[in-house]
Amino acid sequence: MQQFGPKCLSDDLAAGSHWEKRLLMNEIMTGSVDTRSVVSKMTLALLEDSGWYQANYSMADHLDWGRNQGTDFITSPCNLWKGAYHCNTTNFSGCTYNREAEGYCPIVTYSGDLPKWARYFPQANKGGQSSLADYCTYFVAYSDGSCTDTNSARAPDRMLGEVRGSNSRCMASSLVRTGFVRGSITQGNGCYQHRCVNNSLEVAVDGIWKACPEAGGPVQFPGFNGELICPAYNELCSNRPVSVSEQCANSCNLNGDCVNGKCHCFLGFHGHDCSKRSCPNDCNGRGKCLSNGVCECENGRTGVDCSTAVCDEQCSLHGGVCDNGVCEFRCSDYAGYTCQNSSTLLSSLSVCKNVLERELSGQHCAPSEASILQQLEEVVVMPNYYRLFPGGAKKLFNNLFGSSYCDAAAKQLACWISIQKCDNDGDNRLRVCHSACQSYNLACGASLDCSDQTLFSSEEEGDGQCTGTGELKLSWFNRLRTSLFSSNTSLKRTSIEYSQS
């Protein structure tokens, strides 16, 4: 076939029989397809030009790859592509080129150097996973990352204001519902509803629509902390606004998609022309549906449909994360920390080794890297121990009358505060037992604030729901002096730290 203008056919292993993947990506006639394949008008035209076929162009699919990207998309190296068409690190997730899914950036280190024209990194052997796509690097959809498939919905979606469906697209976001926290990753991606009306790209969160800046940029929504980063208008909308088909009544009032003459209403609207406001799931019987289609939830409930239980405000104040009414203290909230089998930590420990040896059956929340775990003992555990073990005249008092009990209690508590047990699911860390704090106070005649729920469990929680234990053998003199020091409330409070900053 004679070529005119830019190369469109692959001259790779599939020479002469496939379109160039770098330029037509998910067209069904490229050498490979890693997203939803389409049959474009270009393929139909090629078949028709062969003289053997007559094409029905109304059956062609839309080929969105490179849409509105200009001629530079064809003539420039792919490492100069803009927006969602290019990625250069595996450390962060992103959005696929058509923003229909959340994805990852596959970058491969090859055993040999890539051709000079395919080198986009300082390392000559580093590039994208597809040779048919000229080793370009771009986001590939997660298997469960679809924004358009309602079956890809995940539990955190409501907390982040996300909705998955035919009109949802992937966008950068740090949104989180007021009263919740995102955890260690403050900036990520999410699936949000969009529409193109009145020469403007609009996005919705909780049924509230807001217009985006034409060039893209942040927008904020009531009831949420953080912001949603809109893409540029031409990424999701045509150069002229898309009008809803006249086949549908009142053009669905711009509150839905017109599909085969029938309105498919957006979340919060119903009726044959999407003119009526509705509340999602009728507020689940946990709130009042207002005339604007927004649920006014009863006390103790939140969410777009009042389906999510809220926690006491003390949960976030104490460093917890509210998960549908349950206050959780997640191990992953501390960067680099994971729940690990307790026995695997012993080889990296010295100060806390004896303490953890008594609890080898479960898991503990600790730094993943052994070197960081060793530093934790030096810069966190030991300073806490020195704060907890009484000093000055009182230390001398302890040395004369049973300091070993206080020393053991201080050491245990310092270790438990810094390396906490994990729950049975291996997701959440368990705060130090209230009884362990009390036991320390009794052993050392101290007045540590055991009601500080940032560090300690409540009195109602049993030893199996927290880290450590309140059992500590006391000498006869310690038991005697307990009554003396327990009534002394004028002692200075002790300040302790949980982990490295």
Q: Is 483 helix (H, G, I), strand (E, B) or coil?
A: helix
Using CA atoms, how far apart are residues 417 and 450, in angstroms rounded to an integer?
12
Q: Please state the residue numbers annotated as binding site.
A: 18
Q: What is the largest CA-CA distance in the chain?
A: 105
Classified as helix, coil or strand, 30 is strand
* Residue 260: C-alpha distances to residues 38, 238, 248 (Å): 20, 21, 8
Q: Where are the alpha helices (DSSP H) in 86-156?
A: none
b or e along 471-485 (b: 16 or more beta carbons within 10 Å of the residue's beta carbon)?
A: ebebeeebeebeeeb
Residues 436 and 456: their CA atoms lie apart, in Å, by 9
Q: Cα 166 to the chain's mean position, in Å?
A: 22
Distance CA 154, CA 163 (A): 10
Residue 119: Cβ within 10 Å count: 17
Contact 135/177 with Cβ under 8 angstroms?
no
- Annotated binding-site residues for Zn(2+) read 18
Residue 117 DSSP label? G
Strands (E), 237-355: 256-259, 262-265, 269-270, 276-277, 287-289, 295-297, 301-302, 308-309, 321-323, 326-328, 337-341
Q: Which amino acid is at 425?
A: D
Of the candidates 14, 278, 22, which has an alpha carbon nearest to the alpha carbon of residue 136?
A: 22
The C-alpha atoms of residue 4 and residue 428 are separated, in whole angstroms, by 61
Coil vs helix vs strand at 3: coil
CA–CA separation, 369 and 380 (whole Å): 16
What counts of helices (H) and strands (E) characterise the chain? 14, 26
Instruction: Find all residues with CB under 8 Å of 489, minimum gap 6, and list them.
Output: 447
